[in-house]
Structure 1
Amino acid sequence: MNIQIFGSKKDNDTKKAQRFFKERGIRFQYIDLREKTLSKGEFRSVAAVNGGLEGMINKECNDRDALALVTYIAEEDKLDKILENPQILKIPIVRNGRQATLGYQPDVWKTWE
């Protein structure tokens, strides 16, 4: 398994995801989205298995301005704006090769073991 967890140090679901893999002795790489975001290729592969671009956006995020910007921007500029504003993404983003989940989903992760 090659687990990557993209999230925020302050996010409880990100902490729970890290604990889930630690408790099972599964090594993972943690990437803080405030320091480094997903590449366009990584983002597209995660979006492809999670309902597309719109499925990646957290409609309940605190940054209402960034959310409004991404919602109403031209379609061809949307990906770049999302990557510039990772605080609007559903987190944690957990990747295992081509598989990926959004949010805390231990039932799915158990099938990866």
Structure 2
Amino acid sequence: MIQIFGTEKCKLTRAAQRFFAERRIKVQFINLREKGLSKGELASVARAVGGMRALYAEDSPRVKERGLQYLDPSETRLAELFLEDPMLLRTPIVRDGARAAVGAAEVTWKAFAEATKP
């Protein structure tokens, strides 16, 4: 089952939800305000998208709020930050098993949609 990690207020997250809804594909929505990714999920998604840095929302208000905008964290430190504060993640994260995409990745979403068809 396709999972979408994001927040209700995020335009891109809503766009991902709409994309799959229009194709009548059931998704599981995980609200990052309520629940983050597990350590295993985070590692799997990072592998699929090219590393932790690809998941880092470095220009987000949350980064500035936490005073992290001048920090150049390592992959390990980013993983720790994401596990303690999922709001630092770029959204949406669309995951289909070991495959994942982050941000507006409609080409990848189409591939996920095609793979779910019987």
CA displacement at 1:106 relative to structure 2: 1.4
Question: In structure 1, what is the Cα distance between the partners aligned to 2:52 and 2:14?
Answer: 24
Structure 2 length normalisation: TM-score?
A: 0.84
Any gaps of 5 or more consecutive residues in structure 2? none
Deviating more after overlay: 22-31 vs 54-63:
54-63
CA displacement at 1:75 relative to structure 2: 6.2
Question: In structure 2, what is the Cα distance between the partners aligned to 1:30 and 1:12?
Answer: 14
Distance verdict in 2 for CA 1:96–1:70, change over 3 Å: farther
Summarize the alignment of residues 1-113 of structure 1 with structure 2, pairs less than 5 Å apart. Answer: 2-63=1-62, 64-66=64-66, 68=68, 71=71, 76-112=76-112, 113=114
Distance verdict in 2 for CA 1:38–1:25, change over 3 Å: same
Question: In structure 2, what is the Cα distance between the partners aligned to 1:35 and 1:70?
Answer: 27
Confirm or deny: 8 A CA contact 1:47 1:56 kept in the other structure: yes
Confirm or deny: 8 A CA contact 1:14 1:91 kept in the other structure: yes
Number of aligned positions between the proteins: 112
Q: Taking every aligned residue pair, what percent have the same amino acid on both sides?
A: 41
Structure 1 length normalisation: TM-score?
A: 0.87
Confirm or deny: 8 A CA contact 2:6 2:32 kept in the other structure: yes
CA displacement at 1:35 relative to structure 2: 0.4
